[in-house]
Structure 1
């Protein structure tokens, strides 16, 4: 336990000092609430461009605050995967690529503990971002409702719960990229796999299999593909998504333990 505590402290310090983490945090906390509020405002503006009217049509009706939070949930489900995937590529791939992982041989803290600490630190960071994004969106929406006179009713809290759950599930989907970075020993190669997963997600969704593909299910659940597509995502599909994080954690810890034999 003492060895893991040392690994946790070290990895948290590295995470806090990471330029990638700092940039990703700033972008998530600013771009998502602003994008959600802006998208809904554009959809409901009389001057909305004809070419964008169809894309923004889902945001043009419904309770204002609920639509704000639902839009934030949709953006969050994609943005968090990208931000977390890049961060996982860096924290696992960079250390191996530069030879720093080899320097841990013979240290009191095992490589398995280091890998577990890396995963948990980054999941904690991403969970914090999710809570902050949802909180900022709620605050901005409440201010917007106060200005426009729209009601800020109880329905918004169920949307907030959806956004929080979708964000946390998306955070868990980033864990396997730590395993990919360990196998490829390359941050750049991991980013390539991340882009490939995004492409496969689009294909699976187009073919109607998105509900059973974890990297598509979360976004569909937030009604990104419409209410009908969201209804196809139930508890079995969400449990499958939730299983990705522990499975990915076990895989990356095992891979780091095997680095001792490399």
Structure 2
């Protein structure tokens, strides 16, 4: 069984490495937060009156490293959910959309194990992307200069990335239930909308999908999250992985 699961991991890793959606999403998540945060800081330094500078004033809080890292973390909370969400939806949904799920019934391993292998690969991808995005953010900050001598809070963008990645795991279950990635993409859009609504009504602190953004600084410094609230996205991920594995274990050839 261990050898079979190892081969599953190798196959799923190969699928992910060769998928353009994974490459594109990785590039966006790694580069966009650093570039947008740097652009916001430069616009404020230039005291520009452009529309971008006006939006930057709403996003940037504080000064120096805190302002730069916080802005990057805010961008990450959105970019990671959207980009990794597309990757999760594709990883599970493609098996149904491209009719490759039928061939999986002939493998000498359980379909629940296939789902777990997919989740494991997505977890590793999420962690690597989170680390890379954080390192690029800090590197661009050093190149930007004049951010002060206070050490950057590197754990903020890294934590925001990881918690947001946890919140994308329900899309694996949704892609399975809807038999394709379009349903999961629709669910992703719905999550973004609902998160905005819940946050607007003041309930974001206990809504898992809002926690990373609020931690990053969306909503202002007066809104604080911590403690058990950080555990909510992790619980969402664990429940989603279990539900997805159970759903895959119950797939039948006639309704696959």
CA distance in 2: counterparts of 1:106 and 1:142, whole angstroms? 53
Tell me which moved more, 101-110 or 180-189: 101-110
Q: Is 1:248 matched up with 2:249?
A: no
2:160 aligned residue:
166
2:207 aligned residue:
213
Give the gaps of 5 or more residues in structure 2: none
Question: TM-score, length-normalised on structure 2?
Answer: 0.93
2:49 aligned residue:
48
Secondary structure at 1:228's aligned position in 2? coil
Could you tell me how far 1:122 is from its partner in structure 2?
A: 1.2
Report Cα offsets for 1:89-141 as digits up to 9, x if no partner.
11111112222111111311221111111111112112111111110111111
Q: Is 1:90 matched up with 2:90?
A: yes
Q: Is 1:151 matched up with 2:148?
A: yes
CA distance in 1: counterparts of 2:78 and 2:23, whole angstroms? 18
1:121 aligned residue:
121
1:9 aligned residue:
10
Q: Is the 8 A contact 1:130 1:164 kept in 2?
A: yes
Q: Is the 8 A contact 1:201 1:215 kept in 2?
A: yes
CA distance in 1: counterparts of 2:52 and 2:117, whole angstroms? 48
Tell me which moved more, 93-102 or 247-256: 93-102
CA distance in 2: counterparts of 1:57 and 1:79, whole angstroms? 18
Question: TM-score, length-normalised on structure 1?
Answer: 0.91
Q: How many residues align?
A: 253
Q: Is 1:33 matched up with 2:34?
A: yes
CA distance in 2: counterparts of 1:100 and 1:122, whole angstroms? 19
Could you tell me how far 1:55 is from its partner in structure 2?
A: 4.9
CA distance in 2: counterparts of 1:112 and 1:194, whole angstroms? 24
Q: Is 1:228 matched up with 2:211?
A: no
Secondary structure at 1:106's aligned position in 2? coil
Could you tell me how far 1:66 is from its partner in structure 2?
A: 2.6
Distance change (3 Å), C-alpha of 1:179 and 1:51: closer
Give the gaps of 5 or more residues in structure 1: none
Secondary structure at 1:215's aligned position in 2? coil
Q: Is the 8 A contact 1:142 1:152 kept in 2?
A: no
Structure 1 or 2: more helix by fraction: 1
CA distance in 1: counterparts of 2:123 and 2:113, whole angstroms? 15
1:133 aligned residue:
133
Match of 2:249 among 228, 242, 257: 257
CA distance in 2: counterparts of 1:51 and 1:135, whole angstroms? 25
